[in-house]
Amino acid sequence: MMEWIIILLIAISAVLLIVSMASNRKAEKQKQKEIDLVHVAVMKDINNVQEQIRNLELDIEVVTKEAGIQMTPEEIIFKREVLDLYKRKYSIETIAQKKQVSESEIQQFLAPYLAAKDERSKLAHEI
């Protein structure tokens, strides 16, 4: 009788082990599906961003060609960095030090942006 109980307990534990493994496999498949869905969504977002970047680059190329602006890649990078520093609220003096040019050169480059900012603030105060 005792042997039958031991055999029955072993059989029950084997069945429980198989059921547990099957449910774990199901949970893993579900998690893998979720990971795959997130991966696909992220890849779509990356592709969208890359397409937007390509479109912006083409737009910039068209605008510079239409305007007849000729700049070297170094000039473009310099101007982008200066404008970025200015938009991040760096002072003209600090920008000049970082870029190792005179303050007057930075002020001359930023003049159109400073004028546009002044016009916007005047309009805001008038309203």
CA dist., res. 106 & res. 93, Å (int) = 8
Structure confidence at residue 52 (pLDDT):
97
User: Could you write out the DSSP letters of every residue in the chain?
Assistant: -HHHHHHHHHHHHHHHHHHHHHHHHHHHHHHHHHHHHHHHHHHHHHHHHHHHHHHHHHHHHHHHHHHT----HHHHHHHHHHHHHHHTT--HHHHHHHHTS-HHHHHHHHHHHHHHHHHHHHHHHH-
- My answer on whether 64 and 84 are in the same domain is no
Domain count, the chain: 2
Q: Which of 23, 42, 70 is the last residue before a domain boundary?
A: 70
Structure confidence at residue 68 (pLDDT):
83
pTM over cut 0.95: no
Nearest to 95 by CA among 87, 105, 106, 104: 106
Q: Which of 55, 70, 85 is the last residue before a domain boundary?
A: 70
Structure confidence at residue 64 (pLDDT):
83
Structure confidence at residue 116 (pLDDT):
60
How many percent of the chain have pLDDT more than 70? 90
Structure confidence at residue 122 (pLDDT):
54
Structure confidence at residue 25 (pLDDT):
92
Structural domain span for residue 108:
71-127
Task: Write out residues in the chain with pLDDT < 50, as ranges.
Answer: 123
- My answer on whether 63 and 11 are in the same domain is yes
- My answer on whether 116 and 100 are in the same domain is yes
- My answer on whether 10 and 64 are in the same domain is yes
Structure confidence at residue 118 (pLDDT):
53
Structure confidence at residue 2 (pLDDT):
86
Structure confidence at residue 18 (pLDDT):
93
- My answer on whether 61 and 96 are in the same domain is no
